[in-house]
Amino acid sequence: MKKLFYTTALCLLTSAFTFAQTNLVTNPGFETVTDGVPDDWTNLSTTLTIGINTDTVYAGTNSLRVSTTDYAGEYVVTYAPVSAGETYNLSAWCNLQSYTGTSSSRTRMGLVYTYVDENGNTLDAAGNILSGDITNTNLGSTSIAAMTSATNTWQQLSLTTSEVTPSNAAYIVLALSASRVTAYFDSVSVTVASSAGISEETTTSASTELSVRTESGDLVVTTEAGNTIEVYSVVGAKIQSKVAEDGETVISGLPKGQVLIVRSGNAAVKVVL
């Protein structure tokens, strides 16, 4: 199957990619509260105590205080809308005040995510329905970013989804995780991990012409012979570089099922293998 992508010059102001910064979390700083509970957040555990705090904050006037002595992962979750084929950057500012027992993999605060469809069914990375609605026990099978030491200072935890969003996913469920800790969360975000301004549509400017298509798991790139073609991940890591040949240049050995950025000169195209 062939997919064709084309652009005629995208001006890049820096050598690094600039990423979209629209936060998809509705109440990221816990500033909107009803009856002491932050709007658009759900506590999935009966052993996790949550509350609004106004003394220890990273930004704004509120943070979320969480406390639990349970060693199992306890979660407070929010839902953010997603689009098929995208990857997402997830982050939160965290302040681990204290923990019980010893600092270990079971003593931490962190970020976990999963996907749900429009009916609320939990999905795996391929879009298969798992065990129904989100609960405290069917969340946490994906990547986790964690803090395990009490520092009493604000630190940012972040991760990028390791797969493109399934086609039937309606929301990503971002969970703030706590195990045997008293801690604070603030300034939570979910943003698209694609380069801002890089599009599969034709753009108009003045120089490099670049067309890209996918074929049998490879990229087939057409640009002026001698131009350097670079392939990046959505977080800006260079995966491969090649000098363009006359006609078409085939680039093989790239990761499948991921969003990639193909760049040549001042033109760039976003593709999914």
Q: Is the pLDDT higher at 54 or at 147?
A: 54
Q: Is it the case that residue 143 has pLDDT exceeding 60? A: no
Query: To the nearest whole percent, how much of the chain has pLDDT over 90?
Result: 34
Tokens of 169: 């996913």
Regarding pTM above 0.75, the answer is: no
For residue 36, what are the CA distances in angstroms to 27, 44, 46, 71, 96? Answer: 14, 16, 16, 26, 21
Confidence of residue 171 (pLDDT cuts 50, 70, 90): very high
Quote the pLDDT of residue 136.
Answer: 52
For the stretch 59-90, pLDDT in tens is 999 999 999 988 766 889 999 999 887 888 89
CA angle 81, 87, 89 (to 5 degrees): 80
Domains defined along the chain, listed by start: 3-18+195-272 (2.60.40), 33-192 (2.60.120.260)
Quote the pLDDT of residue 29.
Answer: 96
Strand 3-8 relative to strand 209-215, pairing? antiparallel
In one-letter notation, the amino acid at residue 79 is: Y
* pLDDT at position 110 over 80: yes
Least confident piece of the model among 125-139, 151-165, 175-189, 224-238: 125-139
pLDDT at res. 53: 97
Query: What is the model's pLDDT at position 55?
Result: 96
pLDDT band at 139 (very low <50, low <70, confident <90, very high): low
pLDDT of residue 167: 87
Instruction: Determine the pLDDT at residue 166.
Output: 86
Tell me what pLDDT residue 185 has.
96
- Residue 105 pLDDT > 60: no
In this predicted structure, the answer to whether residue 19 has a pLDDT above a threshold of 60 is no
What pLDDT does residue 108 have? 77
pLDDT-derived band at 147, boundaries 50, 70, 90:
confident
pLDDT tens string 181-227: 899 999 999 998 754 333 443 333 335 688 888 888 889 999 989 99
